[in-house]
Amino acid sequence: MPNDIVETLTDVFWNSIKYQYPNAEKNIVYEQAFVESMIVKDTEGYEMPPHQDGGSFIVGYAQLFITDETDIHHGIILHKSLQPERKMNIANAVDTDKQGDEYDAFYKDHNTEAVTTYPYKSNCLYALGCDDTTWHEVKSVKPGFSRYSLIWQLYWNQRGEYL
């Protein structure tokens, strides 16, 4: 992944990153972070289960929806944890043998409340700064809704050292 994408996304999410990790320095994030990008073709509706971005080291999430229409049935809901003291054991979360059990233990009976909804608008770019109490959930989709999504996720695995 070209370094300029890491730097661009770090710049976009810098206020959120700095708020969560006050000892972070931008040049360190530039060196340590990486970006995962993907293209998703969605013809029947894509539903992403709620996920806790802190547990997966995502510090920024951008998604471009390419579609001819806005669908009020389709969007992202941000959830705030009602148990912010509840944390993942990051060592287990990144261990392939323990990962599933750790995620199950974290999500089971974890109380949240929906705080903001972003409907999917035609040809709209969303950039969401992530923290370890923010959940993303995709709402239901009307049948036949069709779109492409370009997704960029900014990961920073070493971030715990900068709290």
Mean pLDDT score of the chain, rounded to an integer?
A: 71
- The answer to whether 152 and 37 have CB atoms below 8 angstroms apart is yes
Mean pLDDT value across residues 22-31:
92
User: Looking at residue 18, what is its pLDDT?
Assistant: 84
User: Looking at residue 139, what is its pLDDT?
Assistant: 57
pLDDT of 47 over the 50 cut: no
Mean pLDDT value across residues 82-108:
74
The architecture of the domain spanning 3-162 is Sandwich (2.60)
Tracing tokens 């995620």 back to the chain, one arrives at 103
Sketch the domain layout of the chain as residue ranges: 3-162
User: Looking at residue 16, what is its pLDDT?
Assistant: 79
The pLDDT tens digits of the residues spanning 113-148 come to 776 666 666 676 666 665 554 555 555 566 666 777
Looking from the CA of 112 toward its CB, the CA atoms found within 13 Å total 22
The pLDDT tens digits of the residues spanning 50-92 come to 344 444 567 777 777 777 766 666 566 666 677 767 776 767 7
Give the Cβ contact number of residue 105 at 10 Å: 15
Full strand arrangement of the beta sheet holding 134-138? 51-52, 134-138, 71-81, 112-120
pLDDT of 22 over the 90 cut: no
pTM, to two decimals = 0.60
